[in-house]
Amino acid sequence: GAGVSQSPSNKVTEKGKDVELRCDPISGHTALYWYRQSLGQGLEFLIYFQGNSAPDKSGLPSDRFSAERTGGSVSTLTIQRTQQEDSAVYLCASSPQGSTDTQYFGPGTRLTVL
Amino acid sequence: AQSVTQPDIHITVSEGASLELRCNYSYGATPYLFWYVQSPGQGLQLLLKYFSGDTLVQGIKGFEAEFKRSQSSFNLRKPSVHWSDAAEYFCAVDDGGSNYKLTFGKGTLLTVNP
C-alpha cells in the first residue's frame, strides 16, 4: 500500500517568506508526527497529533512554527518569516496509534532558506 | 531529559566484514530503544526495537542489537555487511512515558567498500 508522502520534496525560499509543508499519512493511521533533521543535529521531535486530541506542540522551536491536521488526515507544517537556521529536512511520520514502535516515515521535505 | 549518543559519526567497512555501531543512552528507567536506517533520499525505516525481555533482539536485513543495562548501551551488529547496507543509522529512545516522542542520536554514516 501507499506509504507516507510529503510535498514538496524540495523547497527553496528567501529569508522572511512563509512556507507550507504537507504530509499525507498512511490511510487509517490516527497518529501523525513531525520531526526536523538538521545537518549534524540528528532528528528532533516537533509536534504530535493523535485523533481528535489536542496536539503535543512541545517540540516546536518558536512561535513561527505551527501545524494543523485537517479531518484527522493531511497535515500542514507552516513556518512563518523563515530564517536561515530553519534550513533542514522536515520529516513526517504516521502510526496506527500513538505508539513509538510503529512510526512509518515519509521521505521528507528539504527546506533551504537563502 | 534523556539523551542518545552515537560516538561514531562515520564508519567505513569492507563488504563482507562484520559491523558494530555504538549507541549509548542516558535515562533513569528502562528505556524503549530503537534503531532506524535512512538510505539516501528515503525516509527512516525501523530495523529493530527493544522494549523488554530478551536483551538480544533480531531485526530486519540481518541486523541484531544487544541491550546492556550496565553499560547503558544498545549496539547494532551485523556479521557480514552488504554494499546495500551503506546508509545512515540512527539510534533512538522513547521519551519515557510519552509513548510516542522519540529522541534520536545524531546518526552514524556507514560507507561500504567493495
Instruction: Look at residue A102 in the predicted model and tell me its pLDDT.
Output: 76
Residues of A in Cβ contact (< 8 Å) with B32 = 100-101
C-alpha A6/C-alpha A109 separation (Å) is 7
Instruction: Look at residue A63 in the predicted model and tell me its pLDDT.
Output: 95
Which residue stretches of chain B have pLDDT < 70? 28, 95-99
What the block records as the C-alpha cell of A61 is: 522551536
Residue B56: give the domain boundaries.
3-113
Beta pairing, strands A31-38 & A88-95: antiparallel
* Residue reference for cell 534550513: A87
Does the beta carbon of A41 lie under 8 angstroms from any beta carbon of chain B?
Answer: yes
Residue B17's CATH number? 2.60.40.10
Per-residue model confidence as pLDDT tens digits over A9-52: 999 999 999 999 999 999 989 899 999 999 877 889 999 998 88
Q: Mean pLDDT, chain A, as a whole number?
A: 91
Per-residue model confidence as pLDDT tens digits over A5-17: 999 999 999 999 9
Contact B90 A43 (CB under 8 A): yes
List Cα–Cα distances, B33 to A22, B29, B51, B76, B79, in angstroms.
29, 12, 7, 11, 21
- Please name the residue of chain B whose CA is at the shortest distance from the CA of residue A56: B101
What the block records as the C-alpha cell of B42 is: 528515503
Does the beta carbon of A30 lie under 8 angstroms from any beta carbon of chain B?
Answer: no
Does the beta carbon of B32 lie under 8 angstroms from any beta carbon of chain A?
Answer: yes
DSSP per position, B3-67: EEE---SEEEEETTS-EEE--EEE-SSPPPEEEEEE-TT--EEEEEEE-SS-SEEE-GGG-EEEE
Q: Which residue has the higher pLDDT, B30 or A57?
A: A57
- When divided into structural domains, chain B yields a total of 1
Residues of B in Cβ contact (< 8 Å) with A31 = 100
Instruction: Look at residue B99 in the predicted model and tell me its pLDDT.
Output: 66
Instruction: Look at residue A67 in the predicted model and tell me its pLDDT.
Output: 96
Q: What is the CATH architecture of A5-102?
A: Sandwich (2.60)
Per-residue model confidence as pLDDT tens digits over A69-112: 988 799 999 999 999 999 999 999 999 877 666 789 999 999 99
